[in-house]
Structure 1
Amino acid sequence: MVNVDEARDELEKILSKREYTIYHDQSNNIFATWWEKAKKWIAEQLERLFPSLEATNTAAEWLIAIIIAVVVILLAVTIFFIVRNRNRKRLFREKTPLHSTKELDWSYHMHLSEAKKQEHSEKHTLATRHLFLALLLYFHDKEWLEARIWKTNWEYYEELKKVNRQWADQFYHLASFFDEATYGEREVEIEEYIQFRTEVMKWLGESDEVV
């Protein structure tokens, strides 16, 4: 207990020293000066923009607060998208869409049927998975890429890019959603699934005409 009292007394002595109080006061003065200048500048701008409106310090304070809030929100949104894109790229380069030889041995028709089955059970995440595997194996049948258990979507993207760059970009978009749904621990909503299914079925139903 004595040591605690001594430490508290020593801390009080340090805080009461002139050097500390001067530094503390200077910091407060700098912030106060900056704040007053900012309010004055904004008040002047408001008077220029709205001559009939009497700009006050209160209005300037509110405007500064709004600007700070907007900047914070924009930063938060930017950070969110940066982190999400990094996670997507990491999944794209590290995870393999095919998990077993059984999935590879299935035809794309079988995966398509399984997707419809899962869709009817309202298991849209699983349905998304089988739709994507159906697309992947369809590309394999077309010899646009070579499906293997150990390959990642990034490798499939690179293979498809050699065939057609536009197709590869479309595949990248679908594969990114697949990775996020499969490995991102998120449930696919019905609206997202319908959009994904529509894009996949365009490939499965119209690719013969494209080629």
Structure 2
Amino acid sequence: MSRSNDGKEQLKEILDRPEYQAYEQESQTASQRLLDVVAQWVKELLETWFPNFQVSDSAINGWIYFFGFIGIGILLFLFIKVMGRLSSEKKLSQKRTFSVTSDLAWSSEKHVEEADARAADGQFSEAARHVFLGMLLDFDARGLVEVKTWKTNGDYEKELQDSDHTLVADFSFLAKIFDQITYGNRTLQKEEFAEFRFRAFQWMDQEGRKDA
């Protein structure tokens, strides 16, 4: 108990010091000055728009606090939404690319053939997935990356930074869409798939692709 009392006494002594009191007063004065400036601006604005409208200073201060709280709430909501989206994209990027062993067993050419078959049936998201896997296997055959079941698209992007950095920008674009359609809820339309296919095929070896 004595230590607790000693702590309270020390805290009280600090709070009672002149320099702390001066700091508190200065902080309150600065805040009050800012509030007065904003209140005066709002009052002049209202008087300009509504010459016959009379409003007290206390009412204006109340409005400022009210809309200030609303503004803070909106900013907090937007911050949470942005952080949630970033967290979701981060989780997607950490998913393994070849999650099914059979996908890794296929050749690049077989994935391309499957992609064309899926696209013909209107399954553009699944078609894009096979295009991407075929592209990665093509990169593996050319020694640009080393395909492994445990790797993510982030791992392959790092390998491309060293083997051929000119592919990185397009690969990053395609990888993001691949993650969204494979592990997220995105569905590709025909036009989106056409762009996806074109951007993937332009980097694939001639023997590993068909005419775009």
The answer, yes or no, to whether TM exceeds 0.5 is yes
Unaligned stretches of 5+ residues in structure 1: 1-33
The 3 A distance-change label for structure 1 pair 205 and 140 is: closer
Equivalent residues, number = 167
Q: In 2, Cα distance between the equivalents of 1:159 and 1:110? A: 24
Q: In 2, Cα distance between the equivalents of 1:37 and 1:164? A: 58
Does 1:91 pair with 2:92? yes
Residue 122 of structure 2 is matched in structure 1 by: 122
Residue 82 of structure 1 is matched in structure 2 by: 83
Deviations 1:34-85 (A, max 9, x none): 99985652343577xxx7x55767xx999x9999888766664554343222
Query: For the Cα contact (< 8 Å) 2:124–2:193, is it kept in 1?
Result: yes
Query: For the Cα contact (< 8 Å) 2:170–2:199, is it kept in 1?
Result: no
The 3 A distance-change label for structure 1 pair 113 and 42 is: farther
Deviations 1:74-102 (A, max 9, x none): 66455434322222222222x21113343
Query: Superposition RMSD on alpha carbons, in Å?
Result: 3.7
Q: In 2, Cα distance between the equivalents of 1:69 and 1:193? A: 42
The 3 A distance-change label for structure 1 pair 72 and 128 is: farther
Q: In 2, Cα distance between the equivalents of 1:125 and 1:69? A: 41
The 3 A distance-change label for structure 1 pair 84 and 37 is: same
TM (norm. structure 1) is 0.61
- 1:114: how far off? 0.8
More helix by share: 1
TM (norm. structure 2) is 0.61
The 3 A distance-change label for structure 1 pair 67 and 151 is: same
Residue 188 of structure 2 is matched in structure 1 by: 188
Unaligned stretches of 5+ residues in structure 2: 1-33
The 3 A distance-change label for structure 1 pair 162 and 180 is: same
Q: What SS is found at the alignment partner of 1:204?
A: coil
Q: In 2, Cα distance between the equivalents of 1:168 and 1:81? A: 25
